[in-house]
Each structure stands twice: as C-alpha cells, then as structure tokens.
Amino acid sequence: MLSVLWNNATQATDLKVGDKAPDFKLQATDGHSYQLSDYLGKQTLVLAWYPMANTRGCTLECKSLVQKGSLIREYNAVYMMASVDDLEDNQKFAKEQKADFPMLSDPTKETAKAYDVLNLVRVASRVTFYIGKDGTILKIDDDINPETAAEDIAATLAELGIEKQS
C-alpha cells in the first residue's frame, strides 16, 4: 500500500538544470557530516534521494550501488544516497546492505524540502541530482530503475562528459 502511495505521490522538483543546488550539511552513516560545499571545485556530486530504508526499491537501489559502484568510481564524482530517515535507521540499513558510500540522514526534512523531493506522504521521492563542480545542477533524474541504479548513474556521468579518474 505504501509503495502505491509513494508512486502516486511522487512529484517532479521545481529545481531545474542550471540552477544552483541548495547547500546542505547532513550526517551520514559513516560517522561524518557531508555538505555540498565540500565538493565545489573538486568533484561532481551525485545525490540520490530515496523514500525509506529497508523497503524493497531502496534496498535494490542500495545493492546496485554496492555491487556496481566501481562503475561510478571510474569518474571524478562522488555519490551518496539520502533520505529523511533518522540516522540510526540509516546506519542499520547501511550495515545490512554493506554500503561503501555515505548514506545521508535528513530527519528534519529541511534539505529534502530545499531539493523539493518531499512528497505527500512526507518521505523523499526517488530523485537523483547530478551537481557539477561549480554547484549547478547538471541533471535531475526522476525515472530511476533501482535495480540498475549504478549502471544508469555511470552512463549519465558519461553522457554529461564528466571526466574519468586518472
């Protein structure tokens, strides 16, 4: 039932390609806090919002990023998943899925609101933002296949002309 609500409640963001991405500072499952400004001038940031830890689609998406994350790491890009789950739930989820990338928690929902991904059931819609080194949004993808998320992110980085790691 909830998955039906999520699908019906998803909405495209009001942010557009070329807009400055909202800065954020969120705690992650690895014990660190991350903020967009850490990557300005350095790397492209892929911020993948997901509805809720331990749900089918989110588990599939996380598994894809764990199993095929090496495809993304070929590029000068960093990737992380984000949800409005509390840090404890995300830490448990990350541990169960053996996540080797930051999973961000936004329990106040302020960052989700800034990215306009908070939907009618008060969780984040599944939307991935590609943010350039200059802080502008390069692409907003709201048509996510959780099972092929890593391959799709790598393909998008290639399409966007993001340089490969040397």
pLDDT tens digits along 13-45:
589 999 999 999 999 999 999 999 999 999 999
pLDDT for res 4: 36
Residue spans of alpha helices (H) in 49-86: 56-73
How many C-beta neighbours within 10 Å does residue 52 have?
19
Q: What percent of the chain has pLDDT over 90?
A: 81
Average pLDDT, the chain: 89
Q: What number is the average pLDDT over the span 152-156?
A: 97
The more confident residue out of 87 and 62 is 87
Q: What number is the average pLDDT over the span 106-132?
A: 94
Residue 28's DSSP bridge partners are 104
pLDDT for res 7: 38
Q: Is the pTM of this model over 0.95?
A: no
pLDDT for res 12: 45
pLDDT for res 13: 53
How many whole angstroms separate alpha carbon 75 and alpha carbon 98?
Answer: 22
Q: What number is the average pLDDT over the span 73-100?
A: 95
Q: What number is the average pLDDT over the span 128-136?
A: 97
Asked if pLDDT for residue 46 goes beyond 80, the answer is: yes
Asked if pLDDT for residue 80 goes beyond 70, the answer is: yes
Kindly provide the b/e burial profile for residues 60-80, where b requires at least 16 CB atoms within 10 angstroms of the residue's own CB: ebbbbbeebbebbbebebbbb
Amino acid at 149: A
pLDDT for res 9: 38
Asked if pLDDT for residue 128 goes beyond 60, the answer is: yes
